[in-house]
Amino acid sequence: MPVAARRRVLVVGIDGVRLDTLRRLDTPHLDALAAAGFLAPLVVEPGTPTMSGPCWATIVTGVTVDKHAVWSNDFSGNRLAVFPDFTTRLREAGRRTYVAAAWEPLMTVANGGPLFRGPGRVSFVAPASDDCEGWEEADELVTTEAVRVLAEDDPEASFVYLGAVDETAHILGCGEEYERAVVRADERLGRLLAAVRDRAAHAEEAWTFIVVTDHGHRDEGGHGGRSERERTAWVACAGPDVPAGARVGGLRHQDVAAQVFASLDCPADSHWTLDGRPFAAEPLAVLLDMDGTLVDTEALWWRTAREVAEGLGHRLTDADTSEVVGRCVEDTAVHLWRVSGTERPLDTLVAELDARFLAAVEGETVLLPGAPELLRTLGDMGIPRALVTASPRPVVESVLKLLGAESFQVTVTADDTDRTKPHPEPYLAAARALGVDPAGCLAVEDSPAGIAAAEAAGCRVAVVPSLVPVEGAPGRRVLTGLQELVELLEAGRAPRGSE
């Protein structure tokens, strides 16, 4: 059995980068990260001052200013002991964490700090002078040290802060030197990413990268007001839970810490009362199983298999479930032929199963609760849909009279691929037909065979169990029913894994 990749997270905070400036500059490393996932704007919330202290505190704690109580760049009176940063929470949970920065309140007791109260390892380099040159030198030293730690050590969650861009804007405004500072920050980001890629264990690791800024700037430099340029920030992310071209919206600074916990498969404790939630990447497509997921045919299939088995002198029990539920006709026929010891030709068993099941489907099939609402919601959201089933084409055509053939852009049946579930080929074929990456797809399944197929194809999976209990797992979310999935989609919280 393959060993699950070790999850790691690197957050890079680049202070004071205006989104409009970023969009017109050549920043190849950030551009590549955005292409591998997304880069999206976010707006500093009305109650949060557009200052570094409050914004960074919200980013790393996952709670808003009314909880962490960092209202300015003087952190005095904060409640960070109650609402600590993600590196401290993770270190207290036994995880290895690391922070590298040059701004004193982040790392020392200066001005009521530190923001990072207890990471496992730190690299702190105070600027030799409080000017552009001093901050560029400090960022360079911070980057050099962080590259060494990322390459040689094994932090599970890291935060690296670069402050020269913001200081340049304060001193010189948002002109050419400010733009050059942004480009230099991108070059430093590239070195951090390269340090991760060059790790000896990189092939066995699954890294999530998050790059975020805290606020914007006025043209003349400076912030703290409520203008659009001051309030507009942005976040970029790529990783195993964020497919290329991911569509996201409604992001907030407090979501960054929540995403860190989610990326490490470390569920946030409800007692932390986080205000953030993991980034909700809208699926590029939803691939839906049919039997037992959208329509109540799984019980019909079990009954059909039971009746055929009894005719062969075999009584189906729980031991037969994995060979029947979610399986194609041919697989079930082979199983019944083997366990019954019958001398009947295999093709006659296939034909009998086919005929009995089709008759049952045509006469008794009903939609499962939430199925019409789910299909309607996906259509309203404009998310492409495929039906992916181990049933033969005649059965699917019968069921589509209930579901509506127009509900799906693609249908993949047992007759359309050389191998069907639990092999990944049906899901790979559906994603290919829709022109999307399987990693960006959400598969909706009910049976272990279907789940195995979807996960082997690289899809995220939402499970609505029918006959067989299913447990959550990384990349797999077990739901109470289709209506819960509808509610998650409408709330912008597409399932991303176990919670």
Residue by residue, pLDDT tens for the chain (499 residues) are 345 689 999 999 999 999 999 999 999 999 999 999 999 999 999 999 999 999 999 999 999 999 999 999 999 999 999 999 999 999 999 999 999 999 999 999 999 999 999 999 999 999 999 999 999 999 999 999 999 999 999 999 999 999 999 999 999 999 999 999 999 999 999 999 999 999 999 999 999 999 999 999 999 999 999 999 999 999 999 998 787 887 787 899 999 999 999 899 888 899 999 999 888 767 889 999 999 899 888 778 788 888 888 888 888 888 887 787 767 778 888 889 888 888 888 888 888 887 888 787 788 888 899 999 999 999 999 999 999 999 889 889 988 988 999 999 999 999 999 999 999 999 999 999 999 889 889 999 998 999 999 999 989 899 998 877 888 777 788 999 999 999 888 876 667 655 4
- Which residue out of 15, 289, 320, 416 is catalytically annotated? 289
Query: What pLDDT does residue 3 have?
Result: 52
Token reading at 400 = 């589509």
Give the contacts of 362 (CB within 8 A, at least 6 positions apart): 398
- φ/ψ region of 404 (left if φ > 0, alpha if ψ in -120 to 50, else beta) reads left
Residue listed under structure tokens 């009998």: 352
Terminus-to-terminus CA distance in the chain, angstroms? 24
Residue 291 designated active-site:
yes
Taking Cα atoms as reference points, which of 402, 419, 393 lies closest to residue 327? 419
> Could you give phi then psi for residue 247, rounded to 5 degrees?
-100, 120
- As a dihedral over the C-alpha atoms of residue 106, residue 108, residue 114, residue 120, rounded to 10 degrees, the angle is 90
Contact 30, 186 (CB under 8 A): yes
- Which residue out of 291, 320, 416, 446 is catalytically annotated? 291
- Record the pTM: 0.73
Cα(71)–Cα(79) distance, rounded to whole angstroms? 11
Angle between helices 176-197 and 28-36 (to 10 degrees): 60
Give start and end residues of each alpha helix (H) in 13-131.
19-24, 28-36, 52-61, 65-68, 86-92, 104-107
